[in-house]
Structure formats: structure tokens, C-alpha cells
A = this chain, B = another copy of it.
């Protein structure tokens, strides 16, 4: 399963309980995933090993990071798993959330490394952290008690993504995407986009392109287009 076009990295952001980390490792191994990244985790004591059962290797090979950016590294796409689909980064910026099934269908025929972030057991992910992500995924639960255990949520996501169709469309590298956004930012300044709206609009642009999952070729075309715009502004 994890030999397919889409590779999955599970990223736990500041998990509070080591039993949950072990539980997530077990679930990953059940569905044949092994790329686990931990950002400032709690101490991994006996309970994490007990819950991991026969997935000790996944637990022991987990990478430890001090920042999310370090953990997601070279991912082509960063997805936040959240139990608050209604949560908005900012009042005026839409951050639609997709179900695991919708995400699965979107990723069909594509290839690349997808990092899926799971937040703290008590407070989830902060708005700033959500801002780093390209898309938001939420599991459709009931309204009365929507908050799932982190390892349950992870299990549902991996279960759903485990039978994704193999694809060959290569997603743009994170490095090239960052260059494109820098370029876009530069263009915005060049056209004297109002300072007070700049950050908001940049975030919106990231959301839009994040949802599009650009290919390398598309990024190049868009950058060429921006260069041409700049040329015409300057001459």
C-alpha cells in the first residue's frame, strides 16, 4: 500500500500522552505505513510501547522534530486533520475542510509525499499551525460529541487512504512552491497591494493553490506569467 504514488507521513504535533503515540504506531503498521514524525512529543515511556504492540519498529524509527516545518520538510502537500471543521483561520478566509473520502479522491492519480498533521489531544492545532497547511481534513462525526481520540482519528484516515489508487502525476516540490509564493509576494508589493490586506490575501492565495495541488509544470508556468507581469509593470 505505501508503495503507491502517494506516500503518507503521520505527524503528531506535541502529543500529550505516550499511550496515544504507541496506539498511532500500531494503527500505522496495521495499514502498512511507517513514516511517523513527532513534534515536541511527551516523553515516550512504557505505555507507548505497550500500546504499539507489534509496531515497536514504527515507534522506534519515528523522527523527532522541534518545529512543524522541520517535520513536514520536503512534503508536497501538508494536510491538517482537525475535529473542528467549522474553525476558521480568519473570519474572512475560507478554509474548507474535506472528508477523508474527498481527500482520497483528490489525490488519486497523483504522486508525492503527503504529511498529515494531528494536533494536541486537548487543544488541537493553533491557527498559526493551520496556516502552514495546504488543506484541512475532518472526519464526519456526530454533532453532540465530535471530538475523537487521536489514534481513532488517525486510524480512520489511514484506513480510508490505504486503498488510494496509484497515480503518476507529480506534485510540485515544496521548495518550488515556496519560491512561487515568495515571487507572488514580491509581485503584490510591486503593485502596491494595501499593506493591511496583504497577509490575508497571501493566505487566501495559498489556500487556493493548496487546494489545487499544483504540478511542477504548473508552478513554472505561473512563475513565467508573473515574470512577464513584472516586466510589463517595470517597462
Return the chain B residue nearest A2 by Cβ. Answer: B142
A87 contacts chain B at the CB level, 8 A cutoff: no
The winner among A27, A146, A187, A217 for most chain B CB atoms within 10 A is: A27
Give the interface residue-count category, chain A: 35 or more
A163 in contact with B140 given A211-B213, A225-B201 (CB within 8 Å): yes
A229 in contact with B233 given A26-B149, A164-B141 (CB within 8 Å): yes
Q: Tell me if A31 and B141 are in contact (CB < 8 A).
A: yes
Q: Tell me if B169 and A94 are in contact (CB < 8 A).
A: yes
Q: Tell me if A142 and B212 are in contact (CB < 8 A).
A: no
Q: Which residues of B contact A162 (CB under 8 A)?
A: 140-142
CA distance A200 to B61 in the complex (A): 45
Give the interface segment out of A37-45, A68-76, A125-133, A151-159: A151-159
Of the candidates B26, B152, B201, the one whose C-beta lies within 8 Å of that of A30 is: B152
Q: Which residues of B contact A159 (CB under 8 A)?
A: 139, 156, 159
Q: Tell me if A149 and B94 are in contact (CB < 8 A).
A: no
**A36-75 at interface with B (beta carbon < 8 Å):** 51, 53-55
Besides A139-B159, A229-B233, 17 new A-B residue pairs in contact (Cβ under 8 A), listed by A number: A26-B145, A26-B149, A30-B142, A31-B142, A32-B141, A92-B217, A140-B164, A141-B164, A142-B164, A149-B151, A156-B156, A188-B225, A191-B225, A192-B232, A193-B228, A208-B218, A232-B233
